[in-house]
Amino acid sequence: MTSTAAPLDLLLLPTWLVPVEPAGVVLKEHGLGIRDGCIAFIGPRAAAMKLAADEVRELPGMLLSPGLINAHGHAAMSLFRGLADDLPLMTWLEKHIWPAEAKWVDEAFVRDGTNLAIAEQLKGGITCFSDMYFYPKVASDCVHSSGMRAQIAMPILDFPIPGASSADEALRQGIELFGDLKHHPRIKITFGPHAPYTVCDANLEKIRVIAEELDAAIHMHVHETAFEVQQAVEQTGERPLARLARLGLLGPRFQAVHMTQISEDDLALLVESNTSVIHCPESNLKLASGFCPVERLWQAGVNVAIGTDGAASNNDLDLLGETRTAAMLAKAVAGSATALDAHRALRMATLNGARAMGLESQIGSLEVGKAADMVAFDLSGLAQQPIYDPVSQLIYATGRDCVKHLWVAGKQLLDDRQLTRMDEQQLTATAIAWGQRISGHSE
């Protein structure tokens, strides 16, 4: 399973290794070897111990899995965490979030908010995230410096936004950024029309043409609430997803975020087009937006990934907690205790996210040849005992404080819960200072 040529850069020896692909497998007493940022060996411990390695690390009581993939969020909004809680979506947006963004969002806000989000996500076991927010070039710079992996979506709306005076200007910036970063090993640029109710047909057509030419993904909030769908039907006689299908946007490169409202016709469109759905259960619960029927989608063959959404509507970027909520909610919505079992929930938080982003050949599972994006969860604590199925314990009994180590492309970004490239105290102080400014306690 490995060439005997050069020694491994790192050999990891966890108690459990969960590759995610093949599905449902837990390897006990196995080793994983990394060379040049990629997985070069997976095999029994006895075979692993015979290999030459520059560094060997024992991970007793730990479960090694692919890094978690947060398939939807607005990273810089971490600076608005808790700003406008307990409100319905449109009130939250129109009366609170949009005015706050108009007042506060600039390049410094996006830089500081994105760095805060990156640090929180790394500490929670997330190795790759999708971001859809203003000044995407600034966010890309933050991702580049941090060593993390990300999909950055250029937000496009029919009206001016921070950093872009029009939809055409946003598109132009998106094309430029796509060109600048198309060979970046860890950053992928996509196009992010905000939602069906904020982007007209003409702009959606432009986005479709450009995305097809560049082979770029499209990331969009769709069917987030019943009100959105009902309003569209009243105004145009057409459901938003049907409109997107008519305009030719749906397909394997399209990421439909939220999808709490799914009719039989909607389901048929998703299946037929091979569109991915990004499920954000906690944000949908908190804003009372509705429930995405995950089990129904899964059984129909739709690729369902998972996202936290932004910290302003969640309020944490905790994908492990999100996955637990998703598993519980799927059972309640389907009326079946067997819906979205622990192993499938972990797959949703890893390989399905990679597939939604078109990155499944590089990340999302522990397989020889893939990038070494991995997380070690410590299951040795009191609250995880006894362990019958380590994946069940991970999903149902483990919090993100059990994330011990994390690697992206073989580089360790979290070592014994300490960030290796970011200054946690500085990030905390910066966030506190922003909070004081925004709340008016200092200027």
CATH topology for 10-66+372-409?
Urease, subunit C; domain 1 (2.30.40)
Cβ pair 413, 421 in contact under 8 A = yes
Q: What is the dihedral of CA 352, 358, 364, 368, to 10 degrees?
A: 140
In order, the DSSP letters of 63-130 are EEEEPEEE-S--GGGGGGTTSS-S--HHHIIIIIIHHHHHHH-SHHHHHHHHHHHHHHHHHTTEEEEE
Give the predicted TM-score (pTM) of the model.
0.97
Provide the b/e sequence for 203-216 (b: ≥16 CB within 10 Å). Answer: bbebbbebbeebeb
Burial of 187 (0-12, 13-18, 19+ CB in 10 A): buried
Q: What integer is the mean pLDDT of 407-430?
A: 98
Q: What is the pLDDT of residue 2?
A: 45
Considering only the C-alpha atoms of the chain, give the largest distance between any 2 of them, rounded to a whole number of Å: 68
Q: Is the pLDDT of residue 4 over 80?
A: no
Q: What is the pLDDT of residue 89?
A: 85
Cβ pair 155, 161 in contact under 8 A = yes
pLDDT above 70: percentage of residues in the chain: 98
Mean pLDDT of the chain: 96
Per-residue pLDDT tens digits for 204-228? 999 999 999 999 999 999 999 999 9
Per-residue pLDDT tens digits for 141-157? 999 999 999 999 999 99
DSSP-derived secondary structure letter, 179:
H
Q: Is the pLDDT of residue 443 over 50?
A: no
In order, the DSSP letters of 276-339 are EEEE-HHHHHHTT-----HHHHHHHT--EEE----TTSSS---HHHHHHHHHHHHHHHHT-TTS
Tokens of 95: 């009366």
Q: Is the pLDDT of residue 99 over 50?
A: yes
Q: What is the pLDDT of residue 88?
A: 87
Cβ pair 349, 371 in contact under 8 A = no
Cβ pair 125, 68 in contact under 8 A = yes
Q: What integer is the mean pLDDT of 176-197?
A: 98
Domains of the chain: which residue ranges? Answer: 10-66+372-409, 72-356
Sequence-distant (6+) residues with CB within 8 A of 22 are none
Per-residue pLDDT tens digits for 219-260? 999 999 999 999 999 999 999 999 999 999 999 999 999 999
Same topology between domain 10-66+372-409 and domain 72-356: no
Tokens of 93: 């947006």
Q: What integer is the mean pLDDT of 263-279?
A: 98
Q: What is the pLDDT of residue 210?
A: 98
Q: Is the pLDDT of residue 3 over 80?
A: no
Q: Out of 3.40.50.300, 3.40.50.1000, 3.20.20.140, 3.50.50.60, which CATH number does the structure's domain 72-356 have?
A: 3.20.20.140
Q: What is the pLDDT of residue 441?
A: 66
Cβ pair 255, 285 in contact under 8 A = no
Q: Residue 345's closest CA among 363, 322, 366, 361?
A: 322
Instruction: State which amino acid sits at residue 354.
Output: A
Q: What integer is the mean pLDDT of 298-322?
A: 97
